[in-house]
Amino acid sequence: MRSKFEEVKKIFIDSINKDNYVELDSATYNYNLLETSLLKPLKMILLYGRPGTGKSMLLNKLYHNLKEHREIHYFEAPILSEKAFLKEIYESMSGKSVPENMRVNFDGLLKYAQSLRGKREVVFLLDECQLYSEALMEKIRLLSDTRVVKFVITLHKTEDEDIVAKEHFKTRIWEVIVMKNVTEDDLHLYLQKKLIKKGFLEISNMIRKKDIRYIHYMTNGNFRETNKYLYTIFGIYEYYEKNNPKKISTKKLSKKILEMAAIELGYINA
């Protein structure tokens, strides 16, 4: 017999998909700010925050909302090879294919972009830009100077060097949108909406205020950690439902199972 908890845990598989986007006040505010920023004469826009704060999801939603109305391209995964990156930029802008044995000359690409000034504006959404080399980031900067190519980039906030503090970005990033971990209230709404959207109202009702407080404490309101934690919690429920259903209640979340999942993920020591 198929376990309903098997279906519930799948809701929390961490994936970047527009259908997984959940409307929260903080997310809506950041999305509106991002969309408005694209209307301004900005060269670059930065989404900045720790991993799991929703940067990739925001880019994904922006792309799918605007792709029918604007010339916009989304690089979901970083293209680390400079040759491949420049090829993708040129092909996206020109609509022409570059033969595999040919390399796109950067000076030629720059001149091509400059020739389009006043005629077109092409938006590129680049995720995980902390993985790009400094040399490639410099080329992105120079392309943005043409005012034909506009970049929206995401960067992870780290404890180490802050790339946006580098002088060549200070003068070109005119909009910085800082992404933060969610509050307890937003986390509660996030879980409710994800579960109810998939038809699991009774599971949503199992989650009480004190459970939200515990989940938020364990994950610090981080979307990625929250998804991982809930996937593990409902994986344990799935096990009990299949092997020893009398051990679980469907009226409320078990504190014991919350703790078991936290131990399994290393949030607390056994």
Contact indicator for 146, 114 with CB cutoff of 8 Å: yes
Whether the predicted pLDDT of 176 surpasses 70: yes
Looking at domain 25-179, its CATH architecture is: 3-Layer(aba) Sandwich (3.40)
Whether the predicted pLDDT of 59 surpasses 50: yes
pLDDT at residue 245, as a whole number = 86
Residues in the chain: 270
Domain ranges of the chain: 4-15+183-264, 25-179
Q: CA–CA separation, 43 vs 99, rounded Å?
A: 30
Residue range 98-148, pLDDT digits in tens? 888 889 999 999 999 999 999 999 999 999 988 898 899 899 999 999 999
Whether the predicted pLDDT of 161 surpasses 50: no
Whether the predicted pLDDT of 171 surpasses 70: no
22: nearest Cα among 260, 230, 238, 233: 230
* The model's pTM: 0.84
Residue range 220-256, pLDDT digits in tens? 999 999 999 999 999 999 999 999 988 888 889 999 9
Span 86-98, mean pLDDT?
94
165 confidence band (pLDDT: 50, 70, 90):
very low
Residue range 178-216, pLDDT digits in tens? 888 999 999 999 999 999 999 999 999 999 999 999 999
Contact indicator for 5, 237 with CB cutoff of 8 Å: yes
42 confidence band (pLDDT: 50, 70, 90):
confident
Q: 150 has which bridge partners?
A: 123
Q: CA–CA separation, 87 vs 109, rounded Å?
A: 9
Q: Torsions phi, psi of 169, nearest 5?
A: -95, -30
Q: Helix, strand or coil for residue 144?
A: helix
Q: CA–CA separation, 173 vs 160, rounded Å?
A: 20
Span 18-43, mean pLDDT?
83
148: nearest Cα among 170, 119, 180, 182: 119
pLDDT at residue 1, as a whole number = 57
